[in-house]
Amino acid sequence: MRITRVLGGALLALGLAAGPATADSSPSASPSGDGAAPTSAGTSFRTAVEVEQGQTATASASTGDYLYWSFPADSGQRPTVKATVKLPQAHLAQTWQIDVYDGLRRRQACQYGAQTRTAAQDAAAVELACVLRTVRAWSEPWANDPLPGTYYVRLTAVGLKAADLGQPVSAELRVDSKDIGGAAAVDGSLAKPLVPGIAVKSAAEDEDASATAVLSSIEPDDGWASGWWSDRWVWTAIGAILAALAGIGGYTLTRGSRRPRHVPPPPGA
């Protein structure tokens, strides 16, 4: 009976512990109602237009232009960048490409997705997608792993012919993320996210709170490193509880009976 009560209490504790992990495993990106979605794009890294995850940004441009947006990505997230380019009614075959760079302007490889696609002649639109690797909380200095911070998206047409230069196009961009959870957890974290100008801001706050020089002001809803909780903690707790139950069960089975053995009386007593 004692083991049954202990096992029942352990299962109840596991249910309570698994609750936050289940809620945390849902996609982290949701549409933000804080502001309207951007309707323009930048022309360089420094003028990239900030986009929150879950928003659909739009922009009007001409073929041959470089369109830049930026978005924040925190540790444990796997961002998916999707772009749709609406082409003019009459055009030649065009090849469009989407590239993603981190806060250090290192080009990040796509796990999968149509990063480059050629639109057939007179096609109405072309759709591109790039699923990045999971953002890590820490990495070796020589590695090219995605790290928390600002990410830049560049959309442009490559190999255009002179007849297609300058034609009007419209583009849509959307970024969503999936929370990977404890499977992507690492032992370490960055002192600061890779946000351009954040070191300048930290120094300015010590001298004058009104002096800020951050080139990217957008950040996750819960702040940076908001994904410190993951199901890795739950599985650690489950392992500890199972080990304790195994120890209790083994001790109960091997300790034997505490009742004194019956000793027969001596002869003639």
Query: How sure is the predictor about 4, in pLDDT bands with cuts at 50, 70 and 90?
Result: very low
pLDDT band at 78 (very low <50, low <70, confident <90, very high): very high
Question: The dihedral of CA 37, 85, 81, 151: what is its sign?
Answer: negative
pTM: predicted TM-score of the whole model, two decimal places: 0.70
Residue 193 CA to residue 225 CA, distance in Å, equals 8
Within 8 A by CB and 6+ apart from 228, the residues are none
pLDDT at 70: 96
**Residue 189 or 9, more confident:** 189
**Cβ atoms 133, 145 nearer than 8 A:** yes
Residue 242 clears pLDDT 80, i.e. is over it: yes
The CATH code belonging to domain 27-228 is: 2.60.120.380
* Residues 173-198 pLDDT 10s: 999 999 886 666 666 677 788 888 76
Rounded to an integer, what distance in angstroms lies between the CA atom of residue 135 and that of residue 64?
31
In this predicted structure, what is the pLDDT of residue 22?
36
Give yes or no for residue 268 having a pLDDT over 80: no
Which tokens in the block code for residue 198?
A: 């954040």
Residue 136 to residue 138: CA distance in whole angstroms: 5
- Which segments of 26-141 are extended strands (E)? 49-50, 56-62, 67-73, 77-86, 94-101, 107-108, 110-112, 116-119, 125-132
Of the chain, the percentage scoring pLDDT greater than 90 comes to 41
pLDDT digits (tens, 9 = 90+) for 96-108: 999 999 999 999 9
Per DSSP bridges, beta strands 56-62 and 110-112 are unpaired
Enumerate residues 6+ apart whose C-beta is below 8 A from 232: 181, 182, 183, 185
* Res 13: pLDDT: 45
